[in-house]
Structure 1
Amino acid sequence: VIAAWWDYGYWISTLSERKTLSDNATTLDWQIRKSASMFMSTPDHAWQILSSDAETDASSYYVTLPPDINKPTRQGVDGCQTGEYSNFEVSCYDLNQDKLDGFKNWKDDSSADKVYDPDIADKYPTIFDYWESEVYVLPPIVTGLDADYILINLAAEKLPEENILDLYTIEQKGGDETKAFWFIKIADLHILDYYNPELTSYTDKFWNETLFAKLIPFTPVLYVDPDNVELQSETFKPGYAAIYVKDIKFPPDGQGPFQLVYVSPSFERNDAGALTGPLIYKINKEYNPNQ
């Protein structure tokens, strides 16, 4: 199973004959929301999400959850994810409260369709324990994604060779580096927490705290005035372009949560020019986040 943004789904399933988590026909908006939140979660948390199956509660690992699981792409209220507000002040999703509400509805249900086996229920210390173990089903928005690989698609450019180091730009020309904007929006996060004000480069929070950034094989090294390359800055400056060096955070032989197993040949070019195509990482099921 390959995790990727939805618009690569048909290509993956057709060309590689592998299952994907979503594609162009996915109508389950909560599945798209889960993918966006996974990409914007920390690498360790994203590994937990991707390694957990569809029956495991992974809610504590998603960077955000929707305030209403029945409307997962509806934007929430500032403070829901940080705990700034309580559930009595604004509508913030709470899995425990959702479970209690579900139990109450089940308990009050007097219809013939109600799922209840008194013989099995007698084996549990409380009726709630019976319901939780035998009846309750986790909402799909909070469960794991159970994938084996994760794919991103990038568009970048290698700069001329007269530089001492190999230097690159990320051009925002249609790869996932562009779709990061939508990852952030769909995950209901603040754009300017992750993008610099001109929306052409990313903040330290993006580079340090998100899986998506760690899958990008580049790291910003400086910012340059495109009209006068002698004018440089180590930090973001309006009008300056971000310059990157190659930096693979999850190498093929690494012991981390992900291992790079395929990179588009264009990323190995020695001359200047465009770099485009997919990078595929194996999800390391042997990884131990506690070590």
Structure 2
Amino acid sequence: MTMGLFSRKKNQQVEEIEGLDAEDTDVAEIPEDESTADPADASSDDSSTASTADDAAEGAADAPRGAHLEDGPYDAADAPEEDRIDLGGLLVPTIDGMELRMEVDQRSGAVTGANLVIEGSSLQVQAFAAPKSRGLWEEVRSSLRDSVVKQGGTAETRPGAFGTELITRLPIKRPDGRTGYRPARFIGIDGPRWFLRGILTGKALGDAEQSRRFETLVSRLVVVRGAEAMAPQELIPLHLPGERPGLAQIRSGPLDPLARGPEITEIG
């Protein structure tokens, strides 16, 4: 199931988070005494510490960039030359061993996001239009945190490679009836008239080397905002990539509501 970020309803507030794709996300057990804690207590604790945590994380935004990062993510006007996969609103660098899984809305047929999968971890990326005068990440981060806590999960901010990040855990019921959680790392980057959001799940959450590999990937992405007028928080259109050298496109049969959609797998 795809996690929604923006909704056109309720003044374009953040949607309630329904879940993450189990295939890409590690599910860990929570002891029953923790899983039955009062969500209101979690909300209260989070609210009292959110401002302090955000201030500390924002302070790290001015820290020198890691040596493993390039200068992006780039605006299309500033991107250096590189072989990339054209997804319309996003240009994705080609990386050995990476699978590109496109998310398609089953009702409209519109492409809504891209999942970049490497060695059991997944980075979902989407780009949205933003106002000229301000960024969106602070507002979106706050709304996401409130949504996660409302659903009985936990959410905390921390300094990250691109500034303030949000680390979440959403409770789920396992097939055996026990309670587990699905962790995720939200990365948000404000660009010129666009906002890029990534959700990292899987083994990279606990593996520093894999985590840096995905951070490098984010720093090589290119956002193609275009010159047309768009409402703030409107998804920048994506499309399926065409055939490219070194890529084999895999198409399944009729669309399955539970399927990921078409996949692009790099070979060689």
TM-score range, shorter chain: under 0.3
Q: Which has the larger radius of gyration?
A: 1
Q: Which is richer in strand?
A: 2
TM-score by length of 2: 0.27
TM-score by length of 1: 0.25
Q: Which is richer in helix?
A: 1
